[in-house]
Amino acid sequence: MKTIHRVVSRTRILLIAALSCLPFLVNAQSTDQDYRTPPLDIADIVDADPTPSVSVSPDKNWMLLMGRSGLPTIAELSQAELRIAGMRINPANNGTSRASYFNRLQLQDLSNSGTRTISGLPANPRIGSVSWSPDGEHIAFVLDRDSHIELWIADTATAEARKLVDAELNGIFGQAFSWFSDSERLLVKTVQGNRTEAPVKPQVPLGPIIQESSGRPAAARTYQDLMGDSHDENLFEYYGSSQLLIVSVDGSSEAVGEPDLIRQASIAPDQNYILVEAMHRPFSYLVPNYRFPRRIEVWNTQGDVVKLIADLPLAEEVPIGRGAVPIGPRSVAWRTDTDATVYWVEARDGGDPRADVEIRDVVLSLSAPFTAEPTQLIALGTRFNGARWGNSGLALISENWWSNRRTRTWMIAPDESGVAAQLLFDRSAEDRYSDPGTPLQAQNEFGKYSLLLSEDGESIYLTGQGASPEGDKPFLDRLNLDSKSSERLWQSEAPNYSSFISFLDDGHDSLLIRRESPTEPGNYFRLDNGMSGQLTALTSFPHPYPQLANVYKEVVRYQRDDGVMLTATLYLPPGATPEDGPFPMLMWAYPREYKDADSAGQMQGSPYRFNAISVNGPLPFLASGYAIFDGPTMPIIGEGEVEPNDVFVEQLVSSAAAAVDEVVRRGVAERDRIAVGGHSYGAFMTANLLAHSDLFIAGIARSGAYNRTLTPFGFQAEERTYWEAPDIYYQMSPFMHADMISEPILMIHGEADNNSGTFPLQSERFYNALKGHGAKTRLVMLPNESHGYRARESVMHTLWEMNSWMNRYVKGE
């Protein structure tokens, strides 16, 4: 009787409350399209002050603290934007749109921890592209001034900043300046002087838009923001054209060469040459700008062309598949360890990963005065993946191959002919446990980054995540290049999670580390004399959301029905313990493909990391009383000749079932109160789980793709085209199974999504299909938002939508 009375009473109260609020509800319908704000506990997380970023000076005397403001407003995000050539351009300042900025700079003395705020900046500055001079005496950066971008410089001795040059910078291709080795000059890309007004789109079309195929395959993935007509071509030339300047730290400047459509320009270590990449017509309506025709040239500092490295054609006809590359020189750059030597890579398989050849790539180099024939440094059996230069007798060249996930690193002697390459590492890129780490680099006498060698020159240093069955434990090793044996110099230890940042002395005895714990945000420490030495705190950043400081966290290991080990991180609401369960739960995941089951089952993450909360992730809902099962691994494994996606649905459902079984077994969740969600490929996952299982009570899918026939030339890790594997494309598409989804699904999508494949149309069509079959669904299109959501109003509204959806269908409120 008590139970019945309680139900009747609650029903009566709800009915009276509903009747009394009818006028409000009617009025609310008229404002249903307005931005909404989630409960205060969640909103406070959005508005928490971000932790500053840091950067250490090359001389190790200073640490720069770079403060960040909160999220931009929707008004800022709604400013004019050009979407052409695969880019998003701010026409007001000739830079990239949607850029992120710092709003304050502070210098910290690493010898005594004293701090000084950099003065001379305007109120509410928007600071970007921060870069130390090689000698550490100056810091260059840009200021966004609404109508243009300015180059500024700060003196570390005085902590004073000033504008360096009146010329306006051209920032549409990224950082618009770089330092010369002497720390006295910078190479700067500026807007072409005295240019006319931007081209105006004709009201009357000049003619039809025509594209024609040559008859050769020219397959392309579903790129966004491409050119659409001749007006776009004119705009691209207008905003992309730059004049190079050499600017001294005293503010004087001189022009270098003629204005051109310069995508990149870099200075040789000896400061006598400039490597320039300039695009030219014909442009393409099929591929982004980085595949446009371009000349790669070596100039002297007067702007004269010394050497044409290549004049590359339009790259529309690149083969299909991971590892496909254009023909001709690519990855063209300066060697960082010597005066003036250019290196590049050329494919020997036509750029086609399906070609059956012994040699796929060769690495070539050419030294000043650039009159000789290029020298071949190494031939690679798979695809080039990077170079790290040390000296005339040492460079590390890496290669990898996607289809078998193999990666190799070779030691070569770049200036010593006849010395055979030595294999240093040969491993599976999926095997986190065997990762030897990444070679450390440091600025050399040219101010360029090259391999950091031990004092005797016989060893290099490696740093890595230190993945293990107990979790990630970052490390620092010294590797002897003769014996190939490693010595562990430092490693993170429980109950903290620490990561190596930099050496602070020439003898490599003092370390800068970043240390955190589940309840303490990352702060920076000086560690002297190795692991047992003195630890000195350098920063004391506060907890950004102290109301969530006492959140329970546990890294959970469990098993799928085929024996594969899975990992997730369990979070419980503030103050709660597992004994207080069960809780309403949100699982938030993202599937990944593997070729090896053992690697797929390796432990990921660490129980000692700070409980950092991304406003675009699932953790804000801890404040609403939800348990979060974050990142439950969803491995899709295809060993041998089997492709992972051949068993996508079966393995996805099996992984999800194992996760549900585990949280129910632990007593932290109930089967009928678990929602599943994800972003991008995680949204695709969510829709598939609702279509092919009854594991979840509701779903949240953000910025996803649901019909794979709209991405017919491959997607995610799928290399086959639709015409090669139509059944796979059909079975993996939730759109094709919309009639099988009965659980409520909330879909959110940025209406300006620029991610390849996740067109907003994907969510719109899927919503129509679901609605047509009577599913409970809601579609939210966020104005002016891209693949990730940035505006404060958009983020707040997204959290409100998700919280309301889960309260309705998970809690049953």
Question: Could you check whether the bond before residue 495 is cis, i.e. omega within 30 degrees of 0?
Answer: yes
- With a CB cutoff of 8 Å and minimum separation 6, the contacts of 804 are none
Cα–Cα distance between 556 and 540 in angstroms, integer? 30
Q: Label residue 575 exposed, middle or buried (CB < 10 Å: 0-12, 13-18, 19+).
A: exposed
- If you write DSSP's letter for every residue of 442-453 in order, what string do you get? EE-TTS-EEE-B
Q: Select from 763, 789, 790, 753 the least CA-distant residue to 88.
A: 753
Q: Angle, to 10 degrees, between the axis of helix 648-665 and the axis of helix 681-692? A: 80
Cα–Cα distance between 92 and 484 in angstroms, integer? 54
pLDDT beneath 70, residues of the chain: 1-31, 530-532
With tokens 């958009």, the residue in question is 794
DSSP state of 119: B
For residue 283, the model assigns a pLDDT of 96
What length does the chain have?
Answer: 813
DSSP state of 169: B
Q: Residue ranges of the alpha helices (H) in 21-144?
A: 22-30, 40-46, 74-77
- Please state the pTM of the whole predicted model: 0.93
Helix or strand (DSSP H, E) at 102? strand 102-109
Within the chain, what is the greatest distance between any pair of CA atoms?
Answer: 98
Contact between residue 476 and residue 500 where contact means Cβ atoms under 8 Å apart: yes
For residue 3, the model assigns a pLDDT of 35
For residue 446, the model assigns a pLDDT of 95
For residue 24, the model assigns a pLDDT of 34
Cα–Cα distance between 367 and 338 in angstroms, integer? 9
Q: Select from 701, 659, 655, 665 the least CA-distant residue to 680.
A: 701
Report phi then psi at 103, rounded to 5: -125, 0
- Token pair, residue 144, equals 């966004």
Q: Select from 508, 507, 505, 517 the least CA-distant residue to 490.
A: 508
For residue 215, the model assigns a pLDDT of 80
DSSP state of 262: E
Cα–Cα distance between 752 and 754 in angstroms, integer? 6
- If you write DSSP's letter for every residue of 764-796 in order, what string do you get? HHHHHHHHHTT--EEEEEETT--SS--SHHHHH
Active site residues: 680, 753, 787
Query: Which CA distances in Å does 609 have to 131, 204, 602?
Result: 29, 59, 18
The 3-class secondary structure across 712-739, one letter per residue, is CCCECCECCCCCCCHHHHHHCCHHHHHH
Residue 62, SS3 per DSSP:
strand
Cα–Cα distance between 156 and 167 in angstroms, integer? 24
Contact between residue 67 and residue 92 where contact means Cβ atoms under 8 Å apart: no
Query: Which CA distances in Å does 773 have to 298, 492, 695, 702, 742?
Result: 62, 53, 20, 21, 9
Q: In what order do the strands lie in the sheet with 305-312?
A: 262-267, 273-279, 294-300, 305-312
- Token pair, residue 390, equals 């040390």
Report phi then psi at 812, rounded to 5: 75, 25
- With a CB cutoff of 8 Å and minimum separation 6, the contacts of 367 are 338, 339, 340, 341, 342
Cα–Cα distance between 63 and 53 in angstroms, integer? 10
For residue 114, the model assigns a pLDDT of 87
Residue 105, SS3 per DSSP:
strand
Q: Angle, to 10 degrees, between the axis of helix 2-20 and the axis of helix 22-30? A: 60
Question: Could you check whether the bond before residue 369 is cis, i.e. omega within 30 degrees of 0?
Answer: yes
- Token pair, residue 779, equals 């579609």
- Token pair, residue 359, equals 């040699």
Q: Label residue 81 exposed, middle or buried (CB < 10 Å: 0-12, 13-18, 19+).
A: middle
Query: Which CA distances in Å does 95 have to 37, 232, 577, 756?
Result: 32, 16, 49, 22
Contact between residue 416 and residue 583 where contact means Cβ atoms under 8 Å apart: no
For residue 31, the model assigns a pLDDT of 54
Mark 274-285 as b/e (b = at least 16 C-beta within 10 Å): bbbbbbeeebbe
For residue 212, the model assigns a pLDDT of 83
Residue 45, SS3 per DSSP:
helix
Angle (CA) 484-487-492 rounded to 5° is 130
Mark 205-237 as b/e (b = at least 16 C-beta within 10 Å): eeeeeeeeeeeeebbbebbbbbbebbbbbebbe
Q: In what order do the strands lie in the sheet with 422-428?
A: 383-391, 394-401, 406-412, 422-428
